Amino acid sequence: MLFLRLPARLYKRMILIIIKDLSIGADSFMSKALLIPAFSVLLGMLTSCMDEKKTDDPSADEVNLYSSRHYDTDQALYDNFTEATGIKVNLIEAGADELIARIQSEGVSSPADLLITVDAGRLWRAEQAGIFQPVKSAVLADRLPDNMRHPEGLWMGLSKRARVIVYNRTAGMPEPLATYADLANPAHEGKVCIRSSSNIYNISLMASIVARDGEAAAEEWATGVVANFARTPQSNDTGQIRAVASGECGIAIANTYYLARLAASEDPQDQAVAAAVGVVFPDQEGNGTHVNISGAGLVKTSPNPENAIRFLEYLASDEAQSLFANGNHEYPAVPGIAANSTVVALGDFAEDSLNTSELGVNQAAALMVFDRAGWK
């Protein structure tokens, strides 16, 4: 049994000695009869040793992603990473809550290395489910701003979207409309369109208001916004933009990348919708415009943690950040990387520097505020 624990290099050396003896030094039948079985045993041991090394080698083979991003443009990220490293990217796609539940049910046998999803609120849910482990990476610490990283390294933001106010250009920008707080002003009664309170983007926006101003102020704001609804909350962000362009709503809230998609579309009708609305980046004189993120966390039962961290570091590279920007009209999380020209055309803005982990911490309070305010 001690023989089996020898390093592979010693097995190789012993085999070379036997081969030499077989070829030049072992001319008797008895010598060859003894050496040939020994050669076979050592060769088998070497093969077994090499197979074991291959299985245990963290730099070999693959990384398994569970992703809820659902963007075809992300394939370029996977292909480029594989080309650069030789590590194959295996992809499982589903909704964030479904993937979190799947990782929990798979337990220690889960093949998942990374969970990638949109919005800090969903990353926080995964954190609360106990499926993440801390990531220690000098590359990520250097590349990603502090507010894009969980304080304990459990997850990190890799791209951003600003949550802006849109208005109908033909009707003109109603006043006042410089802040999120202005959406609750009685001057906008019957004009505001927005998604439901169950939407994760709205939950994170409300969580940021709770974090900054407290629950009482957040509830007062939410009650005022509800009083200004033009219709019952419905549809998605693109639906809000279309409703403003058509004149059904006077103002609405949407993420920037939905606006950019419409503007960059080859469909003339989409382009017309984008051209029909103006954009306000709220709170430029205060905390800055709220941003939500797309991010990832390392699964605590990851079978390939080294590969997973290499992939995270790649996602923070100049190349990957540019792909986020140009492939899906997101803002890069890494400072100094240019956004797509269509996004840049929306305007410059200062963003809220609140750590994205606060959006998760205050999620439960945000939902209670919505409920008390009657925001369906």
List C-alpha distances in Å: 153 to 117, 228, 335: 16, 40, 19
Q: Summarize pLDDT for 169-215 with one digit per residue, the tens.
A: 999 999 999 999 999 999 999 999 999 999 999 999 999 999 999 99
Interval 53-77 mean pLDDT: 78
Q: State the pLDDT at residue 34.
A: 45
Confidence check: pLDDT of 83 > 50: yes
pLDDT at 211: 97
pLDDT (0 to 100) of residue 71: 86
pLDDT at 17 exceeding the cut of 70: no
- CA distances to 242, 266, 309 from 87, rounded to whole Å, are 42, 35, 12
Band (14; pLDDT cuts 50, 70, 90): very low
| Local confidence band at 6 (pLDDT 50, 70, 90 cut-offs) | very low
Same topology, domains 62-158+294-337 and 161-290+361-373? Answer is yes
Q: pLDDT category, 60, cuts 50, 70, 90?
A: low
- Average of pLDDT values for 231-253? 97
The tokens for 376 are: 């369906």
pLDDT for position 32: 45
pLDDT exceeds 50 at position 105: yes
Which residue shows structure tokens 């997101």? 330
Tokens of 262: 């419409």
- Alpha helices (H) in 199-350, listed in sequence order: 200-213, 215-227, 237-246, 256-264, 268-276, 305-315, 318-328, 341-344
CATH topology of domain 62-158+294-337: D-Maltodextrin-Binding Protein; domain 2 (3.40.190)
pLDDT at 335 over 70: yes
Interval 6-19 mean pLDDT: 44
Per the structure block, which two tokens stand in for 320?
Answer: 């990957």
The domain segmentation of the chain, as residue ranges, is: 2-56, 62-158+294-337, 161-290+361-373
Residue 133 scores a pLDDT above 50:
yes
Average pLDDT, integer, range 102-118: 97
Q: 12-21, 149-158, 304-313: which has the minimum mean pLDDT? A: 12-21
Mean predicted confidence (pLDDT) in 280-286: 97
Q: Which of 34-38, 87-91, 351-355, 359-363 has the lowest mean pLDDT?
A: 34-38
Give mean pLDDT, residues 115-129. 96
For the chain, the first-to-last Cα distance in angstroms comes to 69
Under 8 Å between Cβ of 121 and 298 = no
Confirm if 292 and 159 have CB atoms less than 8 A apart: no
What's the confidence (pLDDT) of residue 70?
Answer: 86
**Among positive and negative, which fits the CA dihedral 256, 258, 261, 267?**
negative
Q: Where are the alpha helices (DSSP H) in the chain?
A: 8-20, 29-56, 75-85, 96-106, 120-128, 138-143, 200-213, 215-227, 237-246, 256-264, 268-276, 305-315, 318-328, 341-344, 357-361, 363-373
Average pLDDT over residues 53-81: 81
The pLDDT of residue 249 is: 97
pLDDT digits (tens, 9 = 90+) for 250-263: 999 999 999 999 99
In this prediction, residue 48 carries a pLDDT of 44
As given in the structure block, the two tokens for residue 8 are: 């592979």
DSSP 149: B
Architecture of domain 161-290+361-373: 3-Layer(aba) Sandwich (3.40)
Neighbours of 345 (CB within 10 A): 14
For the residues 34-43, what does the mean pLDDT come to? 45
- The pTM for the full model equals 0.82
Tokens 């809820």 label which residue? 68
Instruction: Kindly report the average pLDDT of the chain as a whole number.
Output: 88
Percent of the chain scored above 70 by pLDDT?
84
**311-332, pLDDT tens digit by residue?**
999 999 999 999 999 999 999 9
List C-alpha distances in Å: 189 to 43, 225, 232.
Answer: 82, 8, 13
Radius of gyration of the chain measured on its C-alpha atoms: 28
